[in-house]
């Protein structure tokens, strides 16, 4: 799949990337939600570049394990 096809699998909204906060508000997805005790909830968000990097890691991991890689699931727990 091409980069844009992978990005199109996600729902994007403005936010601050956990790895690139200096970029300010950019298009991001939620990759994790933390629920610190007594402090509500905090969304961990990733920008397009980070999502593609995470998809690359997922693809390489699937190849190593001999399993099928399906893009579009960054941030989801694997069984």
Could you tell me if 45 and 18 are in contact, meaning their C-beta atoms sit under 8 angstroms apart? yes
- For the chain, list the strands marked E by DSSP: 13-16, 25-34, 42-47
- What is the structure's pLDDT at 79? 47
Cα–Cα distance for residue pair 74/57, rounded to 1 Å: 10
Output the pTM of the full model: 0.89
**Mean pLDDT of the region 3-24:** 98
pLDDT category at 4 given cuts 50, 70, 90 is very high
pLDDT in tens, 25-76: 999 999 999 999 988 899 999 999 999 999 999 999 999 999 999 999 998 8
Cα–Cα distance for residue pair 69/79, rounded to 1 Å: 13
Q: Which of 5, 19, 76, 24 is nearest to 49 (CA)?
A: 19
**Mean pLDDT of the region 11-37:** 97
Which residue ranges make up each domain of the chain? 3-62
């Amino acid at each position: 799949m091409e980069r844009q096809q992978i990005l199109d699998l996600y729902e994007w909204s403005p936010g601050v990337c956990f790895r690139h906060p200096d970029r300010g508000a950019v298009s991001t997805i939620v990759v994790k939600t933390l629920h610190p005790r007594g402090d509500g909830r905090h969304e961990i968000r990733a920008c397009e570049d980070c999502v593609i990097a995470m998809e690359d890691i997922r693809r390489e991991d699937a190849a190593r394990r001999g399993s099928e890689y399906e893009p579009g699931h960054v941030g989801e727990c694997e069984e």
